[in-house]
Structure 1
Amino acid sequence: MGVIVLGLTLLSLAIWLGLLCFWGQFWRTDQQLEVETLYKTSLQSLPVVCAVVPARNEAELIPTSLRSLLLLDYPGSFNVFLVDDRSTDRTANFAEGVAHAVGKPQQLHIISGESLPAGWSGKLWAVEQGIKSASKFAPDYFLLTDADIEHDPGNLRRLVAKAVQEDLDLVSVMVRLRCESFWEKLLIPAFVFFFQKLYPFRWVNNPNNPTAAAAGGSILIAREALERIGGIQVIRQALIDDCALAQAVKKNGGQGDKETRGINKIPSQGRIWLGLSSLTHSLRPYDSLATIWDMVARTAYTQLNYSPLLLLGTLVGMPLIYLVSPVCVILGIVWGNWAIALTGLLGWLLMTFAYYPTIRFYKCSPWFALSLPAIAFLYTLMTLDSALRHWQGRGGAWKGRVYPSSDNL
């Protein structure tokens, strides 16, 4: 028995050594928009930008989020298209009031959403309507953002500078998620950590690596790139729409010619960039275990492509990677087997080392870094629950709509 346990402990340790050394340095938090553009926010040309904001029953958050959008310090032409997705809480009225309060009613365009057609997710149908309306301004870029995001005043300026100066088709930031309650401090940094492990940002940002991802709260995409992939309709059934959009853009890169581009011509190279933001943040509260659980369970099985085999791999792999080491520390001490205890401790310290930068980024107590095994156990249960919801026809529930699978949208 001791030999088997020691073997599992060594395997878990080897996995962490491999992750730390060969998995795109996913654990680092150095890919940050504010750091990347610290000295590069001046622009010789000012591309036309239109923001598209899908909003469904967001009256509570829209006064803050929309105000931040309308007060962005971008010096070029900028308009906001808010698509009221059949809200019942007077979201549109609140939005109109905000625009008048900040003295920019002409900059806000409110669109009454049409009924949801078959084959579309609600959010993407709203985005499609917003893009169609915004196209009359012939924008060079679309800023796709959510109604629960409070933008730092310089966010758009930094996004545009990053895109223009580095010839990028898509620039996205994982905004800073709310991290105030105990459950948020325990589970939200881990959500970002696991996302970075799935999509190492350095791999995403490498044009020679096929890995592609984006964060839906703040995406700047070139109009030409969007047209090149066939528009939003090509991902109309995607529940994880941000990553689907990034994959389409990166996969379908064009051959731009820098010398023939005009001032407002956007390069079409299929190059994307994803990073963190320390200033733009989400207003959405997840102040209980139940709300975070529902947030993860809504799309976790979708992330596994509804595959029972991938689910089984997750249910086996997560305990092997995250639980074996701390459990073996305890078993090694109880059995007096110091080889098992020390090997398990080394594995636990490695995962703590990997998680600590994310904990520091979110300004949480360093002690939370030691809790990654328990956190991973909870996320494993959430993933299992996501599969159960899918099999029961309750998968993908959001804003009063249920999306069992891409086949049934």
Structure 2
Amino acid sequence: MSVVAWTAVGSLTVWLWLLVGHGFFWRTDQRLPPRTAPPAGRWPYVAVIVPARDEAAVLPMSLPSLLAQDYPGEAEVILVDDGSSDGTGKLARELSVKYGGLPLAVVSPGDPAPGWTGKLWAVRYGVEVARAGSPAYLLLTDADIAHEPDSLRELVASARGDGSGGGFDMVSQMARLRVTSTWERLVVPAFVYFFAQLYPFRWVNRAGARTAAAAGGCVLLRTEMALRARVPESIRGAVIDDVALARAVRRAGGRIWLGLAERVDSVRPYPGLGDLWRMVSRSAYAQLRHNPLLLLGTVVGLVLVYLVPPYAVVAGVSGGDAAAGWAGLAAWAVMTGTYLPVLGYYRQTAALAPLLPFTALLYALMTVDSAVQHYRGRGAAWKGRTYSRPEAAPDR
């Protein structure tokens, strides 16, 4: 057989292993467990912490949903205005007056201390303010995340294990991202697919497993566990703070759960390729711990797994290499099949599934660009702040 054929066979072998041996990462059935019985005792007090920097554009679509939470216990919302220049704090107060609901406190932490990323500095201050009321749980949610009225109730019920057994120290849901523009349809579902491939949800949710991850837009954390894990202090330099948080909780002996959300949505638009490119590239190289060898391995892996199959099909058809063509087609078919559940979750047409190799090429280029920006000293830039050498998810 030709070199192309052998390479295509190698890609097919990888895909068959990914299909059955990698935590069934491609399935989308990890959802909050249904509550089958009413909770026992009083509902615990929850503090909802919202770090916000220049979020006036999305706040009217997200904050009212938090204020309107139908929660049987006591809860409050603490919006941490992280040096906004667009009137985020003032708008939050106006929305609270207009919509009522849960009590809202708007606080400001000042400039981040050395060694802290802006978001975690804001979370630290929000946690400090919340502790004055001794909440049993902290809901960490981003300013662009909208919640259905029963979101907090169901999160707390799942964390307590009411009616379903168990219980968790941290429950995290990956919010359904906005998918409206052409580029969002092409790139966003793949973002969730690749994240699940890196951190298979079943492995994350298995007690005692080494894999740990969370989705930073919606994290319910037991306050006692936050103290034990020393968060956010122990992860203060992390750009990929959700994974860092999950690792810290797991190291402290906590039980974590991660799944896809059904009633928690991101309202932040990414209408163009440039918007999506910046979202991915700002932290991609940090995920690889700024290691050139990991970058090289990642790019080679993406080429072998995602780009070789369609290339082999073209080579088989145009060059008469039947072995390469059939092996490439089989690998491409498995790849396409594993992508269909995520497209279904996002209510997108199955016709997008065969285009996954093109999207993977985009992600490879975004990752390389992330490394280039790092070595140019621009690091992870977000909302006017640049971290020239940020941490991904510290192990300490």
TM (normalized to structure 1)? 0.93
Aligned to 1:262: none
Query: Is this contact kept in 2: 1:83–1:112, CA < 8 A?
Result: yes
Query: Is this contact kept in 1: 2:286–2:391, CA < 8 A?
Result: no
Query: Is this contact kept in 1: 2:67–2:100, CA < 8 A?
Result: no
SS in 1 for 2:140: strand
1:358: how far off?
0.3
Query: Is this contact kept in 2: 1:41–1:158, CA < 8 A?
Result: no
Question: What is the one-letter code of the residue matched to 1:208?
Answer: G
Structure 1 residues 407 and 25, CA gap change in structure 2 (3 angstroms): closer
Aligned ranges 1:16-165 → 2 under 5 Å: 16-33=15-32, 36-37=33-34, 39=36, 42-104=39-101, 107-165=103-161
Question: What percentage of aligned pairs have identical amino acids?
Answer: 48
Aligned ranges 1:271-350 → 2 under 5 Å: 271-350=255-334
Aligned to 1:13: 12
Aligned ranges 1:184-223 → 2 under 5 Å: 184-223=184-223
Query: Is this contact kept in 2: 1:171–1:219, CA < 8 A?
Result: yes
1:39: how far off?
3.6
Q: Which moved more, 1:41-50 or 1:16-25?
A: 41-50
TM (normalized to structure 2)? 0.96
SS in 1 for 2:371: helix
Q: Which moved more, 1:226-235 or 1:177-186?
A: 226-235
1:67: how far off?
0.3
1:230 aligns with 2:261: no
Q: Which moved more, 1:111-120 or 1:21-30?
A: 111-120
- Runs of 4+ in structure 1 off by over 6 angstroms are none
Distance in 1 between residues matched to 2:324 and 2:50, nearest whole Å? 53
Query: Is this contact kept in 1: 2:175–2:264, CA < 8 A?
Result: yes
Distance in 2 between residues matched to 1:311 and 1:113, nearest whole Å? 36
Question: What is the one-letter code of the residue matched to 2:188?
Answer: I
Distance in 2 between residues matched to 1:41 and 1:187, nearest whole Å? 40
Query: Is this contact kept in 2: 1:50–1:143, CA < 8 A?
Result: yes
**Count of residue correspondences:** 388
Question: What is the one-letter code of the residue matched to 2:325?
Answer: A
Distance in 2 between residues matched to 1:275 and 1:151, nearest whole Å? 15
Distance in 1 between residues matched to 2:83 and 2:309, nearest whole Å? 50
SS in 2 for 1:371: helix
SS in 1 for 2:51: strand
Query: Is this contact kept in 2: 1:41–1:157, CA < 8 A?
Result: no
Aligned to 2:354: 370
- Alpha-carbon RMSD across the aligned residues, in angstroms, is 1.3
Give the gaps of 5 or more residues in structure 1. Answer: 254-269
Structure 1 residues 40 and 367, CA gap change in structure 2 (3 angstroms): farther
SS in 2 for 1:397: strand
1:250: how far off?
0.8
1:103: how far off?
2.4
1:284: how far off?
0.7
Query: Is this contact kept in 1: 2:239–2:391, CA < 8 A?
Result: no
SS in 1 for 2:175: strand
Query: Is this contact kept in 2: 1:301–1:311, CA < 8 A?
Result: yes
SS in 1 for 2:297: helix
1:40: how far off?
5.3
Query: Is this contact kept in 2: 1:172–1:220, CA < 8 A?
Result: yes
